[in-house]
Amino acid sequence: MIALAKTEPREGLWQIEAPVPEIGPDDVLIKINKTGICGTDIHIWNWDDWAAHTVPLGLITGHEFAGEIVELGRDVTGLRIGQRCSGEGHVVTADSRQSRAGKFHLDPGTRGIGVNIQGAFASYLRLPAFNVVSLPDEIPDEIGAILDPLGNAVHTALSFPLLGEDVLITGAGPIGIMAGAVAVHAGARHVAITDINPDRLALATAVEPRLRTIDVSREDLKDVMHELGLAQGFDVGLEMSGSQAALDQMVDALVMGGKIALLGIPPGKSPVDWSQIVFKAITLKGVYGREMFETWYKMIAMLQNGLDVSRVITHRFDVANFREGFETMKSGQSGKIVLDWTSTR
């Protein structure tokens, strides 16, 4: 089969011929139709320090996908050949305290497909049946291929109740934009999203016109708060940028007793003014991945009930042109990028 792998310790991925994976009794074999390119994939492409210390050479990368089941392990029940699916990319153990309590997303033994184990940038993927998420007919493959990052957005946005609340999002990358669309769908009153990239802010408006976009290099956040009638500030913050300046601005813009969900990862250690957080009684929640599998249930339900994130996909490439897809992603002038694998069979 065709696959994209990290075969050399330098920038790039390379197309290889690899054997079709052999599945175990509790696995399924998935024929890949579409994959999304993730920020994690860019780290692996660039071969930065994190990637060099995490990803084994020879690994098939990629973890955002949609496809159909073509083979079932002998002990698999509840699934069928031909079933369209996506899947949870975090493969967990069964014996940790967290897993035994049903908190699978907190399992310390988690391994990531396309990071620690063979991934989805391939014609076929082996996946534990436990991780399979079936796709309803009304959700097309290209949306199925971005359910992983949409799940990050949903997990972050729904960390705190949003109905009637005023929400500030820092970072208008694709996940931040989707979190804004989720917040609007979930009944937030005002949803503002900040960035310094005008292309990303324009994309945010295209995805969800009700978002109040703010280019903080040109517009003062306090002026926007006055415009929206937020004398005390925003109720909920969703930090998606990994920028210390953005977090500081968010803390300053929140009400007393405000809440912040943090998904963005800073590039290194950051100084935090903890006195501001303490004296404003702010609640902080770190967010990692998706809740297994409540996040998947909720995002599929919202997609079936009118949530539309299709415009966050701005580029589509045949997998033969994967290098162009990665370069487009690295430019910072795109939304989600989807690779089509159907030509490989």
Q: Which residues are catalytic?
A: 40, 43
Give me Rg for the CA atoms of the chain: 20
Q: Of the candidates 203, 256, 30, which has an alpha carbon nearest to the alpha carbon of residue 132?
A: 30
DSSP secondary structure string for all residues of 282-334: -EEEE--S--TTHHHHHHHHHHHTT---GGGEEEEEEGGGHHHHHHHHHTT--
CA distance 185 to 208: 10
Please count the CA atoms within 13 angstroms of the CA of 216 that sit on its side-chain side.
Answer: 19
The DSSP element (H or E) to which 54 belongs, if any, is helix 49-54
Cα 153 to Cα 116, 217, 224, 290, 332: the distances in Å are 23, 25, 24, 9, 19
Phi, psi of 189 (to 5 degrees): -80, -60
How far is residue 328's CA from residue 24's CA, in Å, rounded to a whole number? Answer: 37
Length of the chain: 345
Q: Are the beta carbons of 263 and 152 closer than 8 angstroms? A: yes
Structure tokens at 320: 């033969």
Please, are residues 338 and 316 in contact by the beta-carbon 8 Å criterion?
A: yes
- CA atoms within 13 Å, Cβ hemisphere of 153: 29
In Å, how far from its chain's centre is CA 135?
Answer: 17
Question: Within its chain, how far is the Cα of 316 from the centroid?
Answer: 18
Give dist(CA 50, CA 14) in Å, integer. Answer: 19
DSSP code of 188?
-
